[in-house]
Amino acid sequence: MPHFTRIADGIDVRPILCQLDAHPELWDQHTARKIAPGTPHSQMSDIWVRWRALEELREPKDYAEPHFGVWYPAWHALSALQPLVYGLMAQVRCVHLGGILITRIPPGGGIEPHHDRGPWHAEYHNCKVYVPLKSNARCVNVCEGEEVNMRVGEIWTFNNLLVHSVENNGAEERITAIISMRVE
C-alpha cells in the first residue's frame, strides 16, 4: 500500500479505553476543529491531548503558525496513553513531538475528504501515527483512493498532506489516537 503503512500490531489499548470511559468530560472541550466554517470534521468529536497553548489561540491564523505544543489536562487523565506515545517516539526516531488528538466518529459519520497542506504543524510534523482504540469492520480510512480498515491494536502511518477521509459505515463508533511527530 503506497499511502498507508502498518508499523505495529497487537497493542493492548484496553487501559486507554477504560480511562476514556472514566473521563467522558474530556470530549469536545475544544470545538474549533468541529465548528470552523467548511470544516471536514463536523461529524466527529475529539479530545485535545497536546497542542498549542490555548492562550495563544486567539484567532484562526494562530492555528497555522509555528508553535511548541503543550500538554492539555487530558494527558494526565489518560496516563495509559503515555507509554504508547513515548514508545512510538522511540520507534520512529522522533526529533520533535507535535499535537496529539483522540477522535471519535459515530456510526454513520465520517470525516470529509480534505488535505492538511499549508498549516505549519501539519507540514513540520511529517509523521502522523494513527492508533485505532475502537473500530469496526465497516470503518474505512481513504487516502488518494486507497482504502484501509485500521483494526484495534494496530498502528498506522500515512501522509495527511494528501487528500484523505474516513467513513464509518458500521454500527459502532470509531475512536483513534493521532500522534504527530517530526522525523528526519
Give the pLDDT means over successive 10-residue stretches in the chain (184 positions): 92 98 97 90 97 94 93 98 98 97 98 93 95 98 95 96 96 98 96
Q: What residue numbers bound the domain in which 130 lies? A: 4-49+82-179
What is the structure's pLDDT at 60? 86
Assigned domain for 67 exists: no
CATH code, 104:
2.60.120.330
What is the structure's pLDDT at 44? 97
Assigned domain for 15 exists: yes
What is the structure's pLDDT at 160? 92
Rounded (10°) angle between helices 81-92 and 14-22: 140
Are the beta carbons of 133 and 175 closer than 8 angstroms? Answer: yes
Q: DSSP secondary structure string, 119-156?
A: SHHHHHS-EEEEEEEE--TTEEEEETTEEE-PPTT-EE
**Domains identified in the chain, total number:** 1
What is the structure's pLDDT at 1? 64
Q: In what order do the strands lie in the sheet with 146-148?
A: 110-114, 164-168, 139-143, 146-148
Assigned domain for 72 exists: no
Are the beta carbons of 110 and 147 closer than 8 angstroms? Answer: no
Assigned domain for 73 exists: no
As given in the structure block, the three cell numbers for residue 91 are 520507534
